[in-house]
Amino acid sequence: MLRQDTGGEDLGEEETGREDVDTRDAGTRDAGTGDAGTEDAGREGTGRVFVRVARPEEYGLVGDLTVEVYVHGGLVSPESSYVRTLRDAGDRAAKAELLVAEVAGEIAGAVAYCPPGSPYAELAGPGEAEFRMLAVREAERRTGVGRAMVRACVERARAAGLAGLRLSTQRNMAAAQRMYERMGFVRTPERDWSPVPGVDLLTYALPLC
């Protein structure tokens, strides 16, 4: 397990309203197959959110985005050794599944989906998956980006026939916790943990079968 010097595994946000989401990989989407979302014409300024696997040429941008979100969000000190882990998107892509959310052709967020056997999984037991390092660009908060990425992780775990999906979140991430609860995640206080003194992590699980 990769237990780092901080365990803040999300910088999501309270997602309000509906979002137009397509969680297919770019190649499938471009082939013109059926749409996964529904049009939300009543939501001004909200474009379609596409969640797909990150491309190698995007790893640097994803790493920078993740560091920016975590450091500027006050979850990680700029001097923390964890910054190097957050920046190394290439390692996440090699040892987990690195997903990005694309809005109007721009990367608006990223998350690491950790299937069974991934060294990035910290909570998942046998037959379970986990997601970590969920980050949403500040300008895209509350537009459905965070929810779309979580939904993509849920879909992957369900398609693999897994028993559940787990996550850790910092205690002060109340808005993200509300989003998880609305999506069906339940608290698992018996799994709460602290990677380092002063960092307390709450845990959630989504049963899938």
Q: What is the pLDDT of residues 65-118, one digit of tens each?
A: 999 999 999 989 999 999 999 999 999 999 999 999 999 999 999 999 999 999
Beta strands in 54-179 (DSSP E): 97-103, 106-114, 128-136, 164-170
Please, what sign has the CA dihedral across residues 80, 11, 67, 53?
positive
In a domain, 175, yes or no: yes
In a domain, 36, yes or no: no
What are the Cα distances from residue 209, in Å, to 121, 153, 206? 20, 15, 9
In a domain, 39, yes or no: no
In a domain, 164, yes or no: yes
In a domain, 42, yes or no: no
CA triple 169-186-194, angle to 5 deg: 30
CA distance 78 to 69: 11
- What integer pLDDT is reported at residue 5 of this predicted model? 38
Number of structural domains, the chain?
1
Q: What is the SS3 assignment for 2?
A: coil
For residue 28, with 0-12 CB atoms within 10 Å meaning exposed, 13-18 middle and 19 or more buried, which class applies?
Answer: exposed
Domain CATH code at residue 115 = 3.40.630.30
Owner of token pair 């608006």: 108
pLDDT over threshold 90, residue 195? no
One-letter amino acid identity for 37? G
pLDDT in tens, 30-67: 322 222 222 222 232 335 899 999 999 999 999 999 99
- What integer pLDDT is reported at residue 20 of this predicted model? 44
- What integer pLDDT is reported at residue 9 of this predicted model? 52
Q: Give the domain range for residue 171.
A: 10-28+48-207
